[in-house]
Chain A
Amino acid sequence: MEALVASAIGILTAAGVYLSLRGRTFPVVLGLTFVSYAVNLFIFVAGGIRLDAPPIVGLAPSMTDPLPQALVLTAIVIGFGMSAYLVVLAIRLRAADGHDHVDREPDPDEDVAAP
């Protein structure tokens, strides 16, 4: 179980890092989403992996730590909002510039022709 969860987190992170280093906004957005999935899983298992253990006292012989589950909920909500904002920003940028490269821009601070 540990190996499965650990490798899932690892693969998600690797994919996320690779994609977020790409040069166009769409892969970057996808990459950041993968990274946030990986992080959410990581938080989820921070309380330890326990099978058949509800996060409630007294329902079963053993219980799992409820706090990471509350934290992961917060992290998911925040991550979702951030990704939504990033998507909108990427679309606006695509509309403004006519391309979706992350970094290809004319220098806005270049001198203008002297009078």
Chain B
Amino acid sequence: MNHWIAAPFLLPALTACVLVFVRTVPAQRAISLLSALTLAAIAGGLCLGHGNAPARVYAMGNWPSHLGIVFVLDGLAALMLVLTGVVAVAALLYASRGWDTRSRHFHALFHVQLMGLNGAFLTGDLFNLFVCFELMLIASYALLSHGDGSARLRAGLHYVTVNLVGSAVFLIAVSLLYRVGGTLNMADLGAALANAPEADRPWIRAGGLMLLCVFLLKGAAFPLHLWQPAAYGSASAPAAMIFSVLTKVGAYAVFRVSSVVFGATAAAPHIDAVVQPLALLTLVVAALGAFSAKTLSRLVAWLALASSASVLVGVGTFSAAGAGAAFFYALPSTLALAALFLLADAIADARGAPWGDRLQRAPRMHGATALGLWYFAAAIAVSGLPPFAAFLGKALLMQGIGPSPWGWGIILGTSLLNVVALARAGSRLFWSIADVPCPGEPAAARFERLGGLALLGAGVVALTVAAGSVQEFTREAARQVAMPSGYVASVLGNRLKGWTIRIEVPEGGADR
């Protein structure tokens, strides 16, 4: 058994525990950055070492898979771990320039967030997925309110309330499926649901659609997206950077659960029919929202919505081509979004109060040239214009969903709208100048203050250069998830042979 598979979950857990007891900020930064770098390295090692080999199973405590909890590593999970690791390092580098001094446990919370994210990507157990979601959410609640301010607290309250209701629905769905399948292991449950008697089909359908609702809520798909722009737009920059990975978890969970758990059952709720239209609608809403944004951070929040919706459009095909393109697109798009969140914060510092990152006439900011060039590059990268990888991602995505007039029209139209919104924001920020001295911080645009931006930029460039092989990788990884026979065989191969659990049922009860 390869113990490294558990490392992306255990390392942040340990780090978070240690960080709670570390008082001084420099020590916190050192431990936190070191741990995040190690995490990224382990993720990279797992991704390169594992490649697209058949899924590998890690059984916690070496319990057989239907009794204990399993982590499953396959190509897609490994890729998402790498993405999380890179964004985490960039966000921590930026946070170490001052954001982390605003509350004592920033770094500890950040690592709890990473633990939840990595766990959600790796887990092969439905209830464990719930627990990882909660880990991720509780850390994100605290990170969202990090740095105080009434707007942030209010966005936090809405976010927490919406997600608590989502968790309740998640639990109901999980118990319904447990009632029918008698197990919570995803692969096991898939087999059990496929053999479920006719009378249980309504329950399977109800459970499946409830799960879908929860994942679409986390993935901020229309009409469950309303919490997202306010939350992401008012979060502190490092938190917003890691949040740009958070909505991708929704798309990932939709893909994983619908193929592993519901792929084999004839009672499969018509998930494939629902996801794509909703994702396309979300794209439209996000483009309109981006146009109406009054601050740069709110604009980027709407673009984050568009990015996760694009991933859902591809995932909605449930095919290797569509989903592979979607996850290829997710990589550069998430990096570019994180860069834009960082830039929005740097621009707000450089312009100073009361202008911040509001899209209106203001004094010329400090370091306008450097920030302007970075903004220009990040805007191109995020909106899917050539030459960066997101452009290839969008092209592949359109190829993957096949020639559908609605799909292509909406993807192309909303991309155009996003480009116009970004151009409009850029011209307001950098060219609409009032002739008064700027109250901002002169050092805000200095390169060492923008730590992390270079890493994100390098990531986007590397993805662009290596686009061919990365695209083949994501396609094969998505194929393995879409046709999960290898995944299921790996997990079920870990069962105890000839072992079944039987629960005695009293005379003629309502039970099976």
B contact residues around A47 at 8 Å (CB): 178-179
CB–CB A32/B138 < 8 A: no
CB–CB A110/B294 < 8 A: yes
CB–CB A78/B131 < 8 A: yes
Q: Choose from A61, A86, A90 the contact partner of B164 (Cβ within 8 Å).
A: A86
CB–CB A105/B154 < 8 A: yes
B contact residues around A32 at 8 Å (CB): 161, 164-165
CB–CB B161/A86 < 8 A: yes
CB–CB A109/B358 < 8 A: yes
- Interface locus among B76-84, B145-153, B339-347, B385-393: B145-153
CB–CB A39/B172 < 8 A: yes
B contact residues around A115 at 8 Å (CB): 361-363, 434, 436
A contact residues around B164 at 8 Å (CB): 32, 35-36, 82, 86
Q: How many residues of B are in contact with the other chain, CB < 8 A? A: 52
Q: Does A11 contact B (CB under 8 A)?
A: no
B 194-226 to A, binary, CB cutoff 8 A, 1 in contact else 0 = 000000000000000000000000000000000
B contact residues around A39 at 8 Å (CB): 168, 171-172
Given known contacts A50-B509, A63-B503, A82 and B160 CB-to-CB distance under 8 angstroms: yes
CB–CB B161/A81 < 8 A: no
Q: Choose from B127, B150, B151, B504 the contact partner of A71 (Cβ within 8 Å).
A: B127
A contact residues around B233 at 8 Å (CB): 109
Decide if the interface of chain B is mainly helix, strand, loop or mixed: helix
Q: Nearest CB to that of B178 among chain A residues? A: A46
**Residues of B473-512 whose CB lies within 8 A of A:** 503-506, 509-512
Complex: A92 Cα to B151 Cα, angstroms: 12
Complex: A97 Cα to B510 Cα, angstroms: 53
Complex: A99 Cα to B222 Cα, angstroms: 31
A contact residues around B355 at 8 Å (CB): 112
Q: Nearest CB to that of B152 among chain A residues? A: A108
Complex: A65 Cα to B511 Cα, angstroms: 11
B contact residues around A2 at 8 Å (CB): 510
Given known contacts A48-B509, A50-B509, A111-B294, A65 and B503 CB-to-CB distance under 8 angstroms: yes
In the assembled complex, how far is the CB of residue A75 from the closest CB belonging to chain B, in whole angstroms?
Answer: 6
Complex: A76 Cα to B293 Cα, angstroms: 39
Q: Nearest CB to that of A102 among chain B residues? A: B157
CB–CB A109/B178 < 8 A: no
A-B pairs with beta carbons under 8 A, tally:
127
CB–CB B157/A25 < 8 A: yes
Q: Nearest CB to that of B437 among chain A residues? A: A115
Decide if the interface of chain A is mainly helix, strand, loop or mixed: helix
In the assembled complex, how far is the CB of residue B131 from the closest CB belonging to chain A, in whole angstroms?
Answer: 7
B contact residues around A38 at 8 Å (CB): 168
Given known contacts A85-B138, A93-B153, A75 and B171 CB-to-CB distance under 8 angstroms: yes
In the assembled complex, how far is the CB of residue A8 from the closest CB belonging to chain B, in whole angstroms?
Answer: 15
Q: Does A26 contact B (CB under 8 A)?
A: no
CB–CB B511/A48 < 8 A: yes
A contact residues around B179 at 8 Å (CB): 46-48
CB–CB B160/A86 < 8 A: yes
Q: Does B167 contact A (CB under 8 A)?
A: yes
CB–CB B360/A62 < 8 A: no
Given known contacts A32-B164, A93-B154, A62 and B363 CB-to-CB distance under 8 angstroms: no
In the assembled complex, how far is the CB of residue B351 from the closest CB belonging to chain A, in whole angstroms?
Answer: 11
**Residues of A36-83 whose CB lies within 8 A of B:** 36, 38-39, 42-43, 46-50, 53, 61-65, 67-68, 71, 74-75, 78-79, 81-82
A contact residues around B511 at 8 Å (CB): 48, 50
CB–CB B506/A50 < 8 A: yes
Q: Nearest CB to that of A93 among chain B residues? A: B153
Complex: A67 Cα to B188 Cα, angstroms: 15
CB–CB A108/B234 < 8 A: yes
CB–CB A35/B165 < 8 A: yes
Complex: A68 Cα to B142 Cα, angstroms: 29
Complex: A37 Cα to B360 Cα, angstroms: 48
A71-B175, A109-B294, A114-B434 known; 16 other A-B pairs, CB under 8 Å?
A: A32-B161, A32-B165, A35-B165, A38-B168, A46-B175, A46-B176, A48-B505, A62-B505, A71-B127, A78-B167, A92-B153, A93-B157, A108-B150, A111-B294, A114-B361, A115-B363
The 9 closest A-B pairs by CB, nearest first: A46-B175, A108-B151, A109-B294, A48-B511, A115-B434, A112-B354, A96-B150, A62-B506, A43-B175
Name 28 interchain pairs, CB-CB below 8 A, sorted by A: A28-B161, A35-B164, A43-B171, A48-B509, A50-B506, A50-B511, A63-B504, A65-B503, A71-B127, A71-B178, A75-B171, A78-B131, A82-B164, A85-B138, A86-B157, A89-B153, A92-B145, A92-B153, A93-B154, A96-B148, A96-B150, A96-B153, A102-B157, A102-B161, A105-B151, A108-B151, A111-B360, A112-B354
